[in-house]
Amino acid sequence: MMNDTDNKKALLKNSRLFGHFDASIIDAAIPMLTSCNFEAGQLVCLKGDESDSLYLIVSGEVEVSVSSHDGKIILLGTLSRGDVFGEVGLIDGDVRTANVVAVSDVELYRITSASFKELTLRFGVGEWMALSSYICFLFRRVTNSLEEALFLDASIRVARKIMSLQEKERDQSQNNFQVSISQEHLGRMAGLSREATNKALSRLEDMGLISREYKKIVVPDIERLAAAVKTA
């Protein structure tokens, strides 16, 4: 059974941000991690606030989103165990770029801004290269989301979001799967209104690519859905 130190090391080594750091840097980061907890529905970070720390998820899930002045919410992603958030503000010294809300009860490890700056003093070429690679990953993710929002048909956007969920939800030995998600949540992920999401899902149903149940979407043939997304 892993102790607290081993658990922290395992999470850091499997993190996209810290995973390529030298073992000595990871060891130095371990005592900087402090535990904190948030209940389901609780706000963890607010866009525009001071970036005073980054977080590493131990258990549970959080949603990352942005909102407009008229209340429209676009869900940027759902993060779970091993994922990091709040890091951008520590890298560039600016404010929070998004809102983060706990979907379920979550346990987090926190690294303060001061501790992160102390850690960077230990960085070698490998760590700076890994950090640059991570920033490129974030940039590509935002670019892909912007491309989807500007150029893709709504039904394809919804289909892509369903595909992005299938890795966690389905038995990889089967060619069908179902995902438990509300229409509202899926629409937020795709950046669509409830009406637009409903129309997109109806079109996918008419094409025989999905069927709908209460808060569930059933995909009878993942290969057909993947082909539809690929050719769009």
Q: What is the pLDDT of residue 13?
A: 92
| Per-residue confidence in pLDDT tens, the chain, 232 aa | 668 898 899 999 999 899 999 999 999 999 999 999 999 999 999 999 999 999 999 999 998 988 777 767 777 778 888 899 998 888 888 999 899 999 899 999 999 999 999 999 999 999 999 999 988 988 888 887 777 777 778 898 899 888 887 766 555 667 788 888 888 888 877 878 788 899 999 999 999 999 998 888 999 998 888 888 877 6
| Residues 6+ away with beta carbon under 8 Å from 220 | 176, 208, 210, 211
Q: Do residues 126 and 53 both lie within one domain?
A: yes
Q: Do residues 102 and 159 both lie within one domain?
A: no
Give how many domains the chain has, as a whole number.
Answer: 2
The answer to whether 12 and 94 are in contact (CB under 8 A) is: no
Domain residue limits at 170: 153-231
Q: Do residues 45 and 138 both lie within one domain?
A: yes
Q: Do residues 94 and 110 both lie within one domain?
A: yes
Q: Do residues 128 and 82 both lie within one domain?
A: yes
Beta bridge partners of 110: 34, 55
Q: Do residues 139 and 169 both lie within one domain?
A: no
pTM: 0.75
53: domain CATH number is 2.60.120.10
203: domain CATH number is 1.10.10.10
Q: Do residues 124 and 34 both lie within one domain?
A: yes
The rounded distance, in Å, linking the Cα atoms of 140 and 13 is 22
Residue where a domain terminates, one of 117, 150, 183? 150
Q: What is the pLDDT of residue 173?
A: 61
Half-sphere exposure of 139 toward its Cβ, with a 13 Å CA cutoff?
6
